[in-house]
Structures are given as C-alpha cells and as structure tokens.
Amino acid sequence: MEKKIVTFGEIMLRLATPDYLRFHQSDKLNATFGGGEANVAVSLANYGLKTSFITRLPQNDIAHSCVMDLRKYGVDTSDIIYGGERLGIYFLETGAVARASKVVYDRAHSSISEIQPGMIDWVHVLKDAAWFHWTGITPAISQGAADVCLEAIRTANQLGVPVSCDLNYRKNLWKYGKKASEVMPELVAGCDVILGNEEDAEKVFGIKPEGFDVVQTEGEVNAAEFESVCTQLIEKFPRAQKVIITLRGSINANHNTWGGVLYTEKKLHQSRRYDITHIVDRVGGGDSFMGGLIYGLITYPTNPQKALDFAVAASCLKHTIYGDYNQVTVEEVEKLMSGDASGRVSR
C-alpha cells in the first residue's frame, strides 16, 4: 500500500482584490482557499503522491466548499475533524512595482484556533504515513494549536515518520501571550528537515548570516553566506538531517530573483537562480517550494541536489499561477529544471 504524506494546519478563505486594485478601490473580491500546509498538500497531490490534509473546520457551507476544493485536487480530507464556529479569512491586496502586497487577517476564534490536545487521533492519522509536515504558522494561532502540533510531532517521532517544518515566522499572528522563540524550539527539535528563509531563523532563533541585510540585497543574494545559518540550526537541532534556506531577492513587487540552498552531511548544495520578471501571484511561493522539496526528497532520496533543483523550479512556476495553490505537474517542473524557460506554446 502506498504510504501517504500528512500535513496539518489552518486553511482559510482567501478574498483578494482583482487587477492590482487597492482594497478601497474594489467592489469585488475573488474567493479562493489557501493555507500553508494545505498548499503543500495540493502540490504533492498534483505530483501524484497520496496526500492527506488535517485541520479542524466548522460545519457550514463555506467549510464544505473548502473540503470540496481540496478533494478536487486529489487531497484526502477524511481525517479532518469538525467543530467550532468559523473558517478563518484573509484579505489580499496584490502590490505592484514599488507598492508591496498587503494581507489583512480575520481569523480570530476560527475552528482550528480552538483545537485542543486529544481531539485528533494522531496514531490513527500517522500509522500509514511516509511523511508529516507542519509550519510555524500553526503554533502561532493559539496555545491549543501549538499543543496539538507538538502531539503530532511526538507521535510521528515515535512511529518513525520523517517530520518537516517550514519555520514561516508571522509576527502578526503571535498574539496569545507566547513568543515564537518560547514555543518553536521544542517543536523544531522533533524535525528531520527544516526549511526557512533569510528572516525566519533570525526572528525565531536569533540565527543570522554575518553582514547580511535583506533590504539591501537589490535582487542579489549570496547563497554561500547562508551556510553558517544552516550549520547553526543543525547544531541547535541535532535531529535535523537537512536544512534548506530559500533565497528571494526582491527587486520590486513584480520582479524577484529566486533560489535556494540545501545543507546536509556537511555539504552545501546551491540551486540555480531564477529571474522572475512578471510575478502573477507570489503568495504560496514558499509552500510550493516545500511541496517540491518533499517530492524531491522522497523521489530522489540519494540526490539532494536534484531535490533542491526540483523545489526551486516548482516554486518558480508557482509565481506564474494565481491563487495559493501550485497547480503544476512533475513534467512541467522537470522541463524547467532542464533549462527550458521559453514558455513556448505546448501543442
């Protein structure tokens, strides 16, 4: 029987202004769904892997629409639990050129924020799992969500299921009286694979590359500077076999450079750097990287360079797709990996 990849976290209704309009300009909002771990699950399902997403949802028509949306992409939703009053919402205003994008959250008292330990039978959920993935967004939601996340990680560790984490620091979410630096270490200690960007490791653990300033990059990010971040993370979390840093150089809101490094067995692997000149939607970019990375690590277990290259190419393609989900195939990613970025019509 094919083993499944399990992801756990919050999925929300996404309401976005169309056509780069500001909130006050638009009388319409486009409705889709998205959330860090759900985005990873959709990516993996698109690559043909058996994938299960775990969350807590209210019993209402919006939540049912959300579940139908996940099922449409082939994600298993059978272990989602129900209760609470509402699905979280986030509003997105997409920026352009020098104007940054904006996100407004409306997720207080969402169903998953009121989750408590014991509500999910993690032994049942993880018994047929090949992988478990969570992000730093989940423990930021509430103490209950953090406790349930820890339950899942410990169960996965006991069952021998590999665990990955995207550090995903969101300063606007940590509002229940605890700091990320207080909560995250115990959770990350149970992880085999750690993903972050140039700010996550610093904001959560105070780990940073020497002499690096994200604002001053102007699109140029020196990958080798991040080897020290990787080695410091592995020193702090010795269970981790691999540390991955995504490298985004922001020229403006529509034009970024994109790449990554993967550190394992005392060796730093570097990806090629993509120049993404016309971004359609960068929300979910990191999740698409994680989805590609998990696929790569499972598919090419002895080739970390190829796993990294797959992740970077997959997330490069995500920047061309509207919505949170990365809706691309393995063949499309491999075509870009091979160097074909022409965008010629396929017919």
Per-residue pLDDT of the chain (347 residues; tens, 9 = 90+): 689 999 999 999 999 999 999 999 999 999 999 999 999 999 999 999 999 999 999 999 999 999 999 999 999 999 999 999 999 999 999 999 999 999 999 999 999 999 999 999 999 999 999 999 999 999 999 999 999 999 999 999 999 999 999 999 998 899 999 999 999 999 999 999 999 987 899 999 999 886 666 555 455 567 778 898 999 999 999 999 999 999 998 999 999 999 999 999 999 999 999 999 999 988 999 999 999 999 999 999 999 999 999 999 999 999 999 999 999 999 999 999 998 776 666 65
Q: Which residues of 123-162 are buried (b: 16+ CB within 10 A; e: fewer)?
A: eebbeebbbbbbbbbbbbbbebbbbbbbbbbebbbeeebb
Closest among 308, 330, 324, 297 to 38, alpha carbons compared:
324
The enclosing H or E element of 338 equals none
- pLDDT confidence of residue 198: 77
Would you tell me the crossing angle of helices 285-299 and 36-46 to the nearest 10 degrees? Answer: 50
Closest among 38, 98, 5, 22 to 323, alpha carbons compared:
38
Q: What is the dihedral of CA 185, 121, 54, 67, to 10 degrees?
A: -160
Strands 4-8 and 129-135: parallel
Spatial separation of the C-alpha atoms in residues 134 and 6, rounded to whole Å: 9
- pLDDT confidence of residue 226: 86
Amino acid letter, 46: N
In which domain, by residue range, is 330 found? 4-337
The answer to whether residue 329 sits within a structural domain is yes
Q: How far is CA 297 from CA 13, 40, 74, 193, 266, in A?
A: 30, 14, 21, 10, 17
- The number of distinct structural domains making up the chain is 1
Would you tell me the crossing angle of helices 304-318 and 330-337 to the nearest 10 degrees? Answer: 110
Task: Check which CATH number belongs to the domain holding 141 and give it.
Answer: 3.40.1190.20
- pLDDT confidence of residue 156: 98
Q: What would the two tokens of residue 155 be?
A: 């169960």
- pLDDT confidence of residue 221: 61
- pLDDT confidence of residue 224: 73
- pLDDT confidence of residue 71: 98
User: What angle (nearest 5°) sits at the alpha carbon of residue 148, between those of residues 145 and 149?
Assistant: 85
The answer to whether residue 342 sits within a structural domain is no
The answer to whether residue 344 sits within a structural domain is no
The answer to whether residue 109 sits within a structural domain is yes
Q: Which residues of 307-323 are buried (b: 16+ CB within 10 A; e: fewer)?
A: bbbbbbbbbbbbbeeeb
The answer to whether residue 237 sits within a structural domain is yes
The answer to whether residue 258 sits within a structural domain is yes
Residue 73: DSSP 8-state: T
The answer to whether residue 70 sits within a structural domain is yes
The answer to whether residue 247 sits within a structural domain is yes
Q: Is 66 exposed, middle or buried (0-12, 13-18, 19+ CB in 10 A)?
A: buried
